[in-house]
C-alpha cells in the first residue's frame, strides 16, 4: 500500500510498475477500501459528472449568490469566448467554466471540493474543457483524477489544503498543482513530468493569502479560480515540453507549509487583512451584515 508521504514515492512506484500514477492510485485505494477497482472508478466518474453538471448550471446569466455579491460572470465570459479573446477560445471557455463552478458554489449549488470549495472551479474548468473542447477520452480524464487525488493527499499530509491554515496557496495553489499533474497524464506525459507540472504550478502561487471579503468564498476567491486554471495549463505545457522544476515538488510542498505557517492570522481566512480590509470590502460587509467592519 502507498503511504502518500511524498510525490517521489508515487512517481517511483509508477515507474517501477511501468504504469501511470492514476491507475496505481486507483488500485491502491481499492485495496485500502476493500472494494473492487470498478467501484472506485465509478465513484470518481460520478465526481466528474458532478463537475460537468456544476459547469452547466453555473453558466446562467441570472445566477446570483446567496449574498448577492456575485453571479453572472460565467455567462458573460462564455459570451466573450465567442470572440476568441486574447488567449483564444479554448482558454476563455475554460475561464468561463471555472467561474461557473465557483459562482454555482456561492449560490449553494452542488460542487466537488477539489480539494476545497474555495478552489472548486480549477479542476472542472480544466478537465471539462479537455473533454468538451479537446475531445479528451473520458476514461483517461477519470484516471487522471486519481493522479490529482494522490498528489492532493501528499500535499494535505506534508502541508495543508486549508486556507485557514496555509492561505489561498493551500487551496487554489494545491488545486492548480493537482490539476496540472492530471493534465500531464491526460496528454500522455510521464509520472516525473506530472510531478514537475505540480511543482511549477505550486511555485507560481506560493505565498497567496486567503482574504475573503465579508468572510464569504466569493471575493476574490472566484476570480482566483480563473488564475488557477491558467497556471495549471501553463505548468502542464511546460512539463510536457520537457521543462523541469529545479526544486523537487516535495521540497516545494514543504516550502508552501513554511510560508503558510509564517503568514499572520489576518491573512488566513479570517477576513481581517488583505483585500478583506479595504474600504470597499468593509462597506460591502456592513451592507451584508448591518454592522461596521473591523478597522
What's residue 223's pLDDT?
98
Q: Are 172 and 225 in contact (CB under 8 A)?
A: yes
Q: Which three cell numbers stand for residue 269?
A: 481566512
Q: 268 pairs with which residues across the strands?
A: 210
List, as one string, the DSSP characters of 212-226.
-GGG-S-TTHHHHHH
pLDDT, tens digit, for every residue of 215-249? 999 999 999 999 999 999 999 999 999 999 999 99
| Cβ pair 166, 253 in contact under 8 A | no
Angle, helix 122-132 to helix 221-240, in steps of 10 degrees = 60
pLDDT at 295 over 50: no
Round to whole Å and give the CA distance between 291 and 294.
Answer: 9
Q: Residues of the chain with pLDDT > 70: what percent?
A: 98
More confident residue, 278 or 291: 278
Other residues' Cβ atoms within 10 Å of the Cβ of residue 274: 20
Tens-place pLDDT, residues 106-128: 999 999 999 999 999 999 999 99
pLDDT at 291 over 80: no
Backbone angles phi, psi at 218, to 5 degrees: -135, -65
Separate counts of helices (H) and strands (E) for the chain: 13, 0
pLDDT at 103: 98
Euclidean distance between the first and the last CA atom of the chain, given in angstroms as a whole number: 51
- DSSP string across 14-42: HHHHTS-HHHHHHHHHHHHHTS-HHHHHH
Mean pLDDT of 282-293: 86
- pLDDT for 51 beyond 50: yes
Task: Convert the pLDDT of each residue in 145-168 to its tens digit.
Answer: 999 999 999 999 999 999 999 999
As a whole number, the mean pLDDT across the chain is: 97
Judge contact between 203 and 174, C-beta under 8 A.
no
Contact between residue 99 and residue 222 where contact means Cβ atoms under 8 Å apart: yes
Q: Report pLDDT for 96.
A: 98
Read off the C-alpha cell for 277: 480590509
For the chain, domain boundaries: 7-289
pLDDT, mean of residues 67-89: 98
The pLDDT of residue 292 = 60
Amino acid at each position: 500500500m502507498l503511504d502518500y508521504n511524498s510525490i517521489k514515492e508515487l512517481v517511483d512506484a509508477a515507474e517501477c510498475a511501468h504504469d501511470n500514477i492514476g491507475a496505481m492510485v486507483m488500485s491502491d485505494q481499492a485495496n485500502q477500501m476493500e472494494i473492487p477497482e470498478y467501484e472506485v472508478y465509478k465513484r470518481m466518474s460520478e465526481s466528474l459528472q458532478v463537475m460537468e453538471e456544476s459547469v452547466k448550471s453555473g453558466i446562467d446569466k441570472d445566477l446570483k449568490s446567496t449574498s448577492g455579491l456575485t453571479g453572472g460572470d460565467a455567462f458573460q465570459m462564455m459570451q466573450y469566448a465567442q470572440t476568441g479573446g486574447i488567449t483564444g477560445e479554448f482558454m476563455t471557455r475554460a475561464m468561463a467554466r471555472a467561474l461557473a463552478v465557483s459562482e454555482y458554489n456561492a449560490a449553494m449549488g452542488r460542487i466537488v471540493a477539489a480539494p476545497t470549495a474555495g478552489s472548486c472551479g480549477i479542476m472542472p474548468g480544466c478537465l471539462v474543457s479537455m473533454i468538451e473542447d479537446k475531445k479528451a477520452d473520458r476514461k483517461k480524464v477519470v484516471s487522471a483524477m486519481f493522479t490529482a487525488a494522490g498528489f492532493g493527499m501528499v500535499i494535505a499530509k506534508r502541508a495543508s489544503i486549508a486556507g485557514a491554515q496555509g492561505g489561498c496557496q493551500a487551496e487554489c495553489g494545491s488545486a492548480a498543482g493537482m490539476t496540472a499533474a492530471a493534465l500531464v497524464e491526460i496528454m500522455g506525459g510521464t509520472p516525473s513530468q506530472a510531478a514537475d507540472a505540480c511543482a511549477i504550478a505550486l511555485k507560481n502561487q506560493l505565498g497567496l493569502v486567503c482574504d475573503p471579503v465579508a468572510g464569504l468564498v466569493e471575493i476574490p476567491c472566484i476570480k482566483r479560480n480563473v488564475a488557477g486554471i491558467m497556471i495549471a495549463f501553463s505548468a502542464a505545457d511546460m512539463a510536457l515540453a520537457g521543462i523541469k522544476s529545479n526544486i523537487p515538488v516535495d521540497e516545494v510542498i514543504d516550502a508552501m507549509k513554511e510560508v503558510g505557517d509564517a503568514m499572520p492570522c489576518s491573512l488566513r481566512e479570517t477576513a481581517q487583512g488583505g483585500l478583506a480590509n479595504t474600504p470597499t470590502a468593509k462597506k460591502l460587509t456592513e451592507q451584508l451584515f448591518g454592522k461596521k467592519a473591523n478597522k
